[in-house]
């Protein structure tokens, strides 16, 4: 079992306080709560929900944080969970994130049937050799300003989904070298069972 705290605290976020806040946010997401776990940054009750919410907003709005650095804990964990020489599957998928009723979001694009407005999330999800999901090795969010990518420090223009898939394959090979990686394209919302993979 990998050590989540170690991976997050070792991430290159530029300041230990940012790492602690990231750990608190991730721990709360895993536990399904709004406050961090007792053995991390704040003991529940030590700071109110408002303080945690404001801390998250400041964290997400920090111009010194980059997506590549924020994804580093995921990549480090994947490298440990899939040791060199082992097999893993990488599922490439585009998901529509419909924000049609959120008029305050001015960076939305036309999505789905072109009647919705929102974003497209491209993911390269790593599965172990038994087909269990481990985590994303690469993700991109397509917005009106371009693609926000775990592989780039600045947004870049969207060309097409084929180019995204090629970037995903390159990212998987780069971040998980010396592994036997099999690519899978997700179809109709279904991920094949391991016995269906070849």
* Least confident piece of the model among 22-26, 52-56, 82-86, 115-119: 52-56
Q: Residue 188: left (phi > 0), alpha (psi -120 to 50), or beta?
A: left
16-31 vs 49-60: helix axis angle to the nearest 10? 120
Would you state the pLDDT for residue 37? Answer: 43
**Cα–Cα dist 171/37, whole Å:** 32
Tens of pLDDT, residue by residue over 90-105, are 999 999 999 999 888 9
SS3 171: helix
Strands 116-127 and 133-143: antiparallel
Lowest mean pLDDT among 2-16, 35-49, 121-135: 35-49
Mean pLDDT of 101-126: 92
Residue 38 clears pLDDT 60, i.e. is over it: no
Distance between CA 140 and CA 158 in Å, rounded? 10
**Tokens read off for 30:** 């895993």
Tell whether the model's pLDDT for residue 192 goes beyond 50.
Answer: no
pLDDT given for residue 159 in this prediction? 95
- Average pLDDT of span 161-189: 88
Distance (Å, rounded) from C-alpha 136 to C-alpha 122? 10
pLDDT of residue 39: 44
Cα angle for residues 120, 126, 130 (degrees, 5° grid): 135
Does 145 have pLDDT greater than 70?
A: yes
Q: What is the pLDDT of residue 81?
A: 95
Whole-number pLDDT of residue 117: 95
Q: What is the pTM of this model?
A: 0.80
């Amino acid at each position: 079992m990998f050590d989540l705290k170690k991976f997050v605290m070792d991430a290159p976020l530029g300041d230990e306080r940012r790492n602690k806040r990231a750990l608190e946010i991730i721990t709360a997401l895993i536990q399904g709560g709004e406050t961090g776990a007792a053995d991390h940054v704040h003991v529940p009750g030590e700071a109110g929900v408002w303080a945690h919410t404001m801390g998250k907003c400041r964290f997400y709005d920090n111009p010194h944080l980059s997506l590549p650095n924020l994804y580093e804990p995921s990549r480090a964990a994947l490298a440990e969970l899939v040791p060199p020489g082992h097999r893993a599957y990488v599922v490439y998928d585009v998901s529509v994130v419909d924000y049609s009723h959120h008029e305050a979001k001015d960076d939305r694009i036309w999505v789905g049937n072109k009647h919705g407005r929102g974003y497209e999330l491209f993911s390269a999800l790593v599965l172990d050799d038994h087909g269990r999901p481990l985590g994303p090795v690469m993700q991109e969010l397509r917005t009106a300003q371009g693609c926000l990518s775990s592989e780039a420090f600045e947004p870049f223009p969207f060309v097409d989904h084929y180019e995204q898939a090629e970037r995903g394959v390159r990212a998987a090979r780069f971040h998980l070298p010396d592994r036997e990686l099999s690519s899978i394209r997700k179809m109709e919302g279904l991920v094949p069972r391991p016995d269906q993979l070849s």
